[in-house]
């Protein structure tokens, strides 16, 4: 590739790629040079191996959208990388150009990524400047987060199953008493109690005075009252516990009003924590962006919602849910979040379940940013004392609605990504868990490299390869919004333009040659390899022969070139051709080595993808099994319950039948006999008995004569009595 131009950005390109060189205090040999062509802004650099590197002799030339040299300021980086048009796209001034924006920084550990986007103690980074421009330009068009109506409607419009919180409540939950104390100190007036019917809270902090939330009875009728409202005859400043209580009622009221996303306060706030609160006044104020204006939609009302998360070991963690709080609440380890399609966002993946903070002022946004940065995992390694060990994501969602036309919010996001440093593990004095971290970081950056390489390959011309962005969380998060959604369901949803993205590659021109050149190779928009004209052994020998030949020819008296021997010319040509072919061969050899490396990397990623597939399959199987078990359990319970119900019903039915039966059955008793009948009965009975007696006497007589006589005597006596008795 000769006369290498920075290629025009095709529509399919993922990024505009800028290179920023950092001033370095290292005393190594410089290996990177910027090419200056007239007064044009530089777009090309060359890297040449240092003198002590004898293995590589190729000089590589790289093209970027623009190269920023060591003297570039933070403000230059903000103004000249296209951040303003990115912000305008997010603010959605022009509907056609309205889109999400992404800014990412890439580079070796310590090359200045965090410096560029997050700044230092004395200088702001692109993130703070972007927030300043957004809040300054929107100023009074920003909806107050203390309005419950705003919180309701924003929660209802959120598609990512998030927990939305106004910033002052969130900050109180994090900084607890220290925040309350600082509020106390900052308040001029002594607050007074409100009457029984309504509790009005003056909510002020060291970073400004907030409007009050009035909680009247019932709690769902929460309303906003200005702090200067005459209703506040009595008021008080809440303590941290008080705030938690108020918030509990506040969120309950929101939950009651039907928002599915706002959860119970207890899920947000554990016991009040006394973290050291960052002081907004101590944050840097330069460079100033007061004079920068961007176009906004003058008819719209805006809301700014901030969330922060990190990708650590290929898992997504919320940075605004402090791990200390989770541990205190007994939840244990931080719970990774899913990047998935939700019910309200079937055609797009979102990080689901994040805590999102509605910020009304720049100060609130900066406090939230500081809080998330404190949470971000940092571990000192040999390469950089405060190295970022995770990929940090800072997301500013700009929600917009036209109050006269619609009550629903549309949303575009500006995501700023501080990628973890890519250093080879052996360079860093890492061990154990940190070594595993380095492995994951390098793996995800390798996938990122493949995606970016694909971008520059696609720019080469005819090839339009698919960007393999689904290989890891990092590339999924970075690229899945870069392509227009093809989903059928998206017809029912708002059509979204693909995101616009900027990549800033940071490099130290005196730093680690190998690590830096590796990053430049896959991030550059174009690349050219040349081999320096250092004569190879063959050409040296051959040129030596030529020189001798020339000497010989000159000594033979032929002085004019016109008189030169045509055989010699042919010989010279042949030697030149051999030299050229040698160079070409060396370049091809280098290319071949690189292709071989890429093939190995592709094979590794293929294997990783296969392993991942197996893992996912196992996971899905386990999930299906659990789900099935749960379903069977539920069915069993349902059947048991139905069976018991049926048995109870049968018992009840039987009882009912029995009671009916006992009610209708009467015991029949015969009527009592009259006296005459009774006498007759007794006489009959008497007769029967008498006959029996007679029979018995007769039997007796037949058995014993003495007895017989006695019986006869008795008989005679009875007959005599009966004769006497008879009338």
The least CB distance from residue 448 to ligand ATP, in Å, is: 14
Which of 93, 384, 497, 576 touches ligand ATP by CB under 6 A? 384
The least CB distance from residue 416 to ligand ATP, in Å, is: 13
Choose one: 384-392, 531-539, 554-562, 606-614; the region binding ligand ATP (CB under 6 A).
Answer: 384-392
The least CB distance from residue 281 to ligand ATP, in Å, is: 21
User: Is 194 assigned to a binding site?
Assistant: no
Length of the chain, in residues: 727
Structure tokens at 32: 């990177």
* Residue 120, phi then psi, degrees to nearest 5: -130, -170
* Of residues 391-420, those binding ligand ATP (CB under 6 A): 420
The least CB distance from residue 379 to ligand ATP, in Å, is: 10
The least CB distance from residue 435 to ligand ATP, in Å, is: 15
The least CB distance from residue 423 to ligand ATP, in Å, is: 8
Total residues contacting ligand ATP by CB under 6 A comes to: 17
Which of 147, 162, 388, 516 touches ligand ATP by CB under 6 A? 388
CA dist., res. 599 & res. 591, Å (int): 12
User: Is 111 assigned to a binding site?
Assistant: yes
Question: Which residues on neighbouring strands pair with residue 418, listed in sequence order?
Answer: 105, 392
Choose one: 167-175, 382-390, 654-662, 704-712; the region binding ligand ATP (CB under 6 A).
Answer: 382-390
Strands (DSSP E) found in 127-176? 163-166
> Other C-beta atoms within 10 Å of 19: how many?
29
Choose one: 111-119, 249-257, 310-318, 495-503; the region binding ligand ATP (CB under 6 A).
Answer: 111-119
Q: Which H or E run contains 356?
A: strand 355-359
* Of residues 471-510, those binding ligand ATP (CB under 6 A): 506
Could you say whether residue 376 binds ligand ATP (CB under 6 A)? Answer: no
Question: Residue 69 or residue 476: which is nearer to ligand ATP going by CB?
Answer: 69
* Of residues 91-110, those binding ligand ATP (CB under 6 A): 107, 109-110
DSSP per residue, 244-287 = HHHHHHHHHHHHHTT-SS---GGGT--SPP-PPPPPGGGS---S
Report the DSSP pairing between strands 99-107 and 497-507.
parallel
Binding track, positions 114-143, relative to ligand ATP; x by CB under 6 A: xx----x-----------------------
User: Is 631 assigned to a binding site?
Assistant: no
CA dist., res. 161 & res. 727, Å (int): 122
User: Is 38 assigned to a binding site?
Assistant: no
Structure tokens at 398: 């700009």
Cα 457 from chain centroid (whole Å): 31
Give the CA distances from residue 156 to residues 361, 371, 393, 408, in Å, rounded to whole numbers and listed in that order.
Answer: 22, 26, 24, 9
CA dist., res. 7 & res. 1, Å (int): 12
Which of 48, 66, 113, 273 touches ligand ATP by CB under 6 A? 113
The least CB distance from residue 125 to ligand ATP, in Å, is: 9
Structure tokens at 487: 């989903």
CA dist., res. 168 & res. 183, Å (int): 11
* Of residues 647-666, those binding ligand ATP (CB under 6 A): none
User: Is 107 assigned to a binding site?
Assistant: yes
CA dist., res. 594 & res. 592, Å (int): 5
Where on the phi/psi map is residue 353: left (φ > 0), alpha (ψ -120 to 50), or beta?
A: left
Interior/surface letters 464-481, b for 16+ CB within 10 angstroms, e for the rest: eeebbbebbbbbbbbbbb
Could you say whether residue 523 binds ligand ATP (CB under 6 A)? Answer: no
Which of 43, 65, 111, 214 touches ligand ATP by CB under 6 A? 111
| Of 105, 104, 107, 17, the residue nearest 421 (C-alpha) | 107
Question: Residue 323 or residue 384: which is nearer to ligand ATP going by CB?
Answer: 384
Could you tell me if 176 and 186 are in contact, meaning their C-beta atoms sit under 8 angstroms apart?
no
Question: Which residues on neighbouring strands pair with residue 475, listed in sequence order?
Answer: none
* Of residues 9-48, those binding ligand ATP (CB under 6 A): 22-23
Could you identify the residue written with the tokens 């078990």?
629
The least CB distance from residue 406 to ligand ATP, in Å, is: 42
Could you tell me if 355 and 268 are in contact, meaning their C-beta atoms sit under 8 angstroms apart?
yes
Could you identify the residue written with the tokens 């539920």?
634
Choose one: 351-359, 381-389, 598-606, 610-618; the region binding ligand ATP (CB under 6 A).
Answer: 381-389
Question: Residue 110 or residue 287: which is nearer to ligand ATP going by CB?
Answer: 110
User: Is 112 assigned to a binding site?
Assistant: yes
Could you say whether residue 387 binds ligand ATP (CB under 6 A)? Answer: yes
Structure tokens at 493: 């949803």
Q: What are the residues whose beta carbons fall under 8 Å from the beta carbon of 194, sequence distance 6 or more?
A: 200, 232, 233, 234, 235, 236
CA dist., res. 509 & res. 426, Å (int): 21
Question: Residue 387 or residue 471: which is nearer to ligand ATP going by CB?
Answer: 387
Choose one: 112-120, 135-143, 369-377, 552-560; the region binding ligand ATP (CB under 6 A).
Answer: 112-120
Binding track, positions 418-457, relative to ligand ATP; x by CB under 6 A: --xx------------------------------------
Choose one: 46-54, 322-330, 380-388, 481-489; the region binding ligand ATP (CB under 6 A).
Answer: 380-388
User: Is 114 assigned to a binding site?
Assistant: yes
Binding track, positions 193-212, relative to ligand ATP; x by CB under 6 A: --------------------
Question: Which residues on neighbouring strands pair with residue 395, listed in sequence order?
Answer: 307, 415
Binding residues for ATP: 107-114
Q: Which residues bind ligand ATP (CB under 6 A)?
A: 22-23, 107, 109-115, 120, 384, 387-388, 420-421, 506
Binding residues: 107-114
């Amino acid at each position: 590739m000769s006369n290498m131009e920075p290629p025009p950005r095709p529509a399919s390109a993922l990024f505009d790629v800028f290179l920023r060189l950092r001033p370095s205090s290292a005393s190594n040999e410089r290996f990177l040079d910027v090419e200056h062509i007239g007064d044009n802004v530089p777009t090309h650099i060359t890297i040449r191996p240092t003198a002590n590197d004898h293995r590589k002799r190729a000089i590589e030339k790289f093209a970027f959208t623009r190269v920023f040299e060591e003297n570039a300021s933070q403000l230059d980086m903000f103004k000249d990388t296209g951040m303003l048009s990115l912000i305008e796209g997010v603010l959605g001034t022009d509907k056609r150009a309205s889109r999400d924006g992404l800014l990412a920084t890439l580079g070796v550990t310590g090359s200045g990524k965090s410096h560029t986007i997050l700044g230092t103690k004395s200088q702001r980074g692109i993130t703070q400047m972007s927030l300043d421009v957004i809040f300054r330009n929107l100023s009074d068009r920003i909806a107050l987060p203390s309005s419950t109506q705003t919180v309701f409607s924003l929660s209802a419009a959120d598609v990512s199953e998030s927990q939305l919180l106004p910033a002052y409540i969130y900050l109180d939950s994090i900084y607890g008493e220290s925040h309350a104390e600082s509020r106390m100190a900052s308040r001029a007036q002594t607050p007074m109690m409100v009457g029984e019917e309504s509790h009005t809270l003056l909510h002020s902090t060291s970073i400004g005075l907030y409007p009050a939330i009035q909680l009247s009875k019932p709690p769902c009728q929460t309303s906003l009252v200005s702090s200067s409202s005459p209703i506040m005859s009595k008021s008080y400043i809440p303590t941290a516990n008080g705030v938690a209580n108020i918030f509990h009622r506040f969120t309950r009221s929101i939950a009651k009003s039907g928002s599915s996303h706002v959860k119970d306060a207890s899920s947000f706030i554990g016991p009040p924590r006394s973290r050291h609160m960052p002081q907004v006044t101590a944050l840097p104020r330069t460079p100033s962006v007061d004079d920068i204006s961007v176009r906004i939609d003058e008819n719209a009302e805006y809301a700014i919602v901030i969330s922060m998360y990190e990708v650590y070991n290929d898992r997504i963690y919320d940075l605004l849910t402090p791990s200390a709080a989770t541990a205190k609440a007994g939840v244990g380890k931080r719970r990774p979040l899913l990047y998935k399609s939700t019910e309200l966002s079937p055609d797009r993946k979102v990080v689901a379940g994040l805590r999102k903070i509605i910020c009304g002022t720049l100060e609130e946004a900066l406090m939230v940013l500081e809080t998330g940065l404190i949470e971000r995992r940092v571990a000192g390694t040999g390469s950089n004392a405060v190295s970022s060990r995770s990929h940090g994501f800072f997301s500013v969602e700009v929600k917009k609605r036209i109050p006269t036309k619609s009550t629903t919010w549309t949303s575009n996001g500006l995501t700023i990504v501080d990628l973890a440093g890519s250093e080879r593990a052996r360079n860093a004095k890492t061990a154990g868990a940190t070594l595993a971290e380095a492995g994951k970081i390098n793996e995800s950056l390798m996938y990122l490299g493949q995606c970016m390489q694909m971008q520059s390959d696609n720019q080469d011309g005819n090839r339009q390869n698919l960007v393999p962005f689904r290989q890891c969380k990092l590339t999924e998060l970075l690229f899945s919004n870069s392509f227009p959604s093809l989903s059928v369901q998206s017809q029912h949803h708002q059509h979204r333009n693909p995101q616009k993205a900027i990549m800033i590659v940071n490099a130290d021109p005196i730093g680690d040659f190998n690590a830096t050149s590796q990053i430049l190779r896959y991030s550059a928009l174009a690349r050219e390899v040349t081999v320096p004209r250092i004569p190879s052994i063959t050409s040296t020998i051959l040129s030596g022969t030529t020189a001798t030949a020339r000497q010989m020819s000159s000594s033979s008296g032929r002085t004019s070139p016109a008189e030169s021997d045509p055989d010699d010319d042919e010989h010279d040509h042949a030697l030149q051709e051999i030299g050229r072919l040698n160079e070409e061969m060396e370049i091809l050899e280098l290319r071949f080595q690189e292709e071989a490396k890429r093939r190995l990397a592709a094979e590794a990623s293929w294997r990783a993808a296969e392993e991942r597939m197996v893992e996912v399959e196992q996971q899905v199987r386990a999930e299906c099994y659990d789900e099935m078990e749960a379903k069977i359990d539920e069915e069993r319970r349902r059947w048991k319950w139905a069976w018991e119900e049926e048995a109870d019903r049968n018992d009840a039915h039987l009882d009912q039948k029995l009671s009916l039966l006992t009610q209708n059955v009467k015991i029949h008793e015969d009527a009592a006999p009259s006296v005459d009948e009774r006498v007759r009965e007794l006489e009959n009975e008497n007769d029967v008995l008498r006959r029996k007696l007679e029979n018995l006497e007769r039997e007796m007589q037949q058995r014993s004569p003495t007895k017989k006589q006695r019986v006869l005597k008795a008989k005679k006596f009875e007959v005599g009595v009966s004769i006497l008795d008879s009338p």
